Amino acid sequence: MTGAKTLLPGATIGVMGGGQLGRMFAVAARRMGYFVHTFSPDKNGPAAQFSDQATTAAYDDEEAVRRFAGAIDVLTFEFENMPAATIEWASHQQLVRPKGAILLTAQNRLREKEFLAGAGFPVAPFRRIANSSELTQAIEAIGRPAILKGAAFGYDGKGQQRIDPETELAAVWEGREDELCVLEAVIDFEKEISVIAARDPSGATAVFPVSENIHRNHILDLTLAPARIEERVAAAARELACDVAEKLDLVGLLAVEMFLKSDGELIINELAPRPHNSGHWTIEGCVTSQFEQNVRAVCGLPLGSTGLLRPTAMVNLLGDVWQGGEPHWPAALEEPNVHLHLYGKHQPRPGRKMGHLTAVGETVEAAVESARRARERLALN
Ligand SMILES: Nc1ncnc2c1ncn2[C@@H]1O[C@H](COP(=O)(O)OP(=O)(O)O)[C@@H](O)[C@H]1O
Ligand SMILES: [Mg+2]
């Protein structure tokens, strides 16, 4: 179901997915007087801990999905990698924002790239790969270095292999068997940036300041905002994100990851039709956070100002931070401009996103320094 319906405070927002994005969404929604009902296969996860109600069931449990969809007033997502059938069952029963077709596009790299390229948006040269001979041909066409990515279920660099001049193609394909993949050219970028746009049911858009992202081991490590790029490039990046949201006919939030080349050219890397790790800084850094904006867009309320309050930096806290025991929280918070966000996850596995620290500053450099220093202080004993 789609439509221009407005959901007022007092309505129940259903959220598919149970992670930290759903948790921070629930905080914003409940603050505004909405009820939040989450659906996740994991019991008492980050989102459930902050929800009014939590359904614990598998995504392929049709009866549970239908019952959940019938118990809410609108459905949104904090996670896009669920079976198409789940989205379809829910869509039959309930207003779904963003609409299911957008989830299906964004959950598969091939569909996503084909949509973007087909609509004339800039993407890295790519090929669809379904077997080893297609890989050999595509490498001829695209050249090296290239990156082979599984089409489905990838995040934090999982399922990706880089193909350098000396890489043996046979070894790359081993273990993939007949997995559908995308081969793309490696882009020699100067910076990675992302832009989060919101679009409401009437088609109005609002776009946040550009985030500059630094990854470590393919996982986002640091976001600083506003990105240290030319105003002209920032304007182009923001316009690009709005154009993609428009083309998708999105209602909700869209994060657009981009590569910025040294000549100023922008290449779209990935889309996420939901809140994004690179937008967590907006909680402290902007007039309206990405999470509140998501609530407003999904409920059909006027979008809030995306104005920047202060330069801001965010560092992720991965499970690795727990290696030497419980992190020293008071030491980190001795930085008075630093804010702690923990997601309520019980197992601090290496590489797992457990929380983040946000710092505001007079300049973006000062904010970065505070955030990094605070994270280093977690190891003090
Ligand atoms: N075509 C590319 N050229 C250069 N670097 C890339 C390319 N694709 C991915 N990367 C690097 O790998 C990271 C993760 O890839 P991405 O496609 O965003 O997958 P994930 O779903 O894991 O975030 C990117 O943020 C970027 O640093
Ligand atoms: Mg990515």
* Best probe residue, ligand 1, of 139, 217, 218 (max atoms within 8 Å of C-beta): 218
Domain co-membership, 344 together with 196: yes
pLDDT-derived band at 155, boundaries 50, 70, 90: confident
pLDDT (mean) for 156-183:
91
Going by CA atoms, what residue is nearest to atom 14 of ligand 1?
157
* Strand pairing category for 181-185 and 146-150: antiparallel
Domain co-membership, 194 together with 284: yes
Domain co-membership, 203 together with 165: no
Q: Which residue has the tokens 């956070």?
A: 289
**Is there an atom of ligand 1 within 6 Å of 349 CB?**
no
Q: CATH number of the domain that 290 lies in?
A: 3.30.470.20
Whole-number pLDDT of residue 365: 98
Q: Would the pTM count as exceeding 0.75?
A: yes
pLDDT-derived band at 159, boundaries 50, 70, 90: confident
Going by CA atoms, what residue is nearest to atom 16 of ligand 1?
157
Distance CA(33)–CA(352), nearest Å, equals 31
Distance CA(355)–CA(344), nearest Å, equals 8
Domain co-membership, 177 together with 200: no
Indicate whether 108 belongs to any domain: no
Domain co-membership, 370 together with 223: yes
Distance CA(21)–CA(259), nearest Å, equals 24
Whole-number pLDDT of residue 158: 86
Q: What is the pLDDT of residues 90-125, one digit of tens each?
A: 999 999 999 999 999 999 999 999 999 999 999 999
Domain of 32 in residue numbering reads as 12-96
Taking Cα atoms as reference points, which of 372, 373, 347, 371 lies closest to residue 360? 371
Q: How many structural domains compose the chain?
A: 3
Ligand 2: centre distance to CA 22 (Å):
19
Whole-number pLDDT of residue 1: 58
Q: Which residue has the tokens 């080349």?
A: 261
Indicate whether 200 belongs to any domain: yes
Whole-number pLDDT of residue 376: 97
Domain co-membership, 148 together with 246: no
Last residue of a domain, one of 81, 96, 111: 96
* Strand pairing category for 53-56 and 35-40: parallel
Domain co-membership, 220 together with 90: no
Question: Over the chain, what is the mean pLDDT?
Answer: 96
* Strand pairing category for 146-150 and 189-199: unpaired
Domain co-membership, 268 together with 217: yes
Q: Is 227 helix (H, G, I), strand (E, B) or coil?
A: coil
Domain co-membership, 41 together with 138: no
Distance CA(138)–CA(17), nearest Å, equals 36
CB 160 within 8 A of CB 172: no
Taking Cα atoms as reference points, which of 134, 95, 370, 113 lies closest to residue 251? 95
Domain co-membership, 45 together with 22: yes
Indicate whether 153 belongs to any domain: yes
Going by CA atoms, what residue is nearest to atom 12 of ligand 1?
218
pLDDT-derived band at 89, boundaries 50, 70, 90: very high
Q: What is the pLDDT of residues 202-235, one digit of tens each?
A: 999 999 999 999 999 999 999 999 999 999 999 9
**Is there an atom of ligand 1 within 6 Å of 284 CB?**
no
**Is there an atom of ligand 1 within 6 Å of 270 CB?**
yes
Q: Which residues touch 158 (CB under 8 Å, ≥6 apart)?
A: 218
pLDDT-derived band at 3, boundaries 50, 70, 90: low
pLDDT (mean) for 171-188:
92
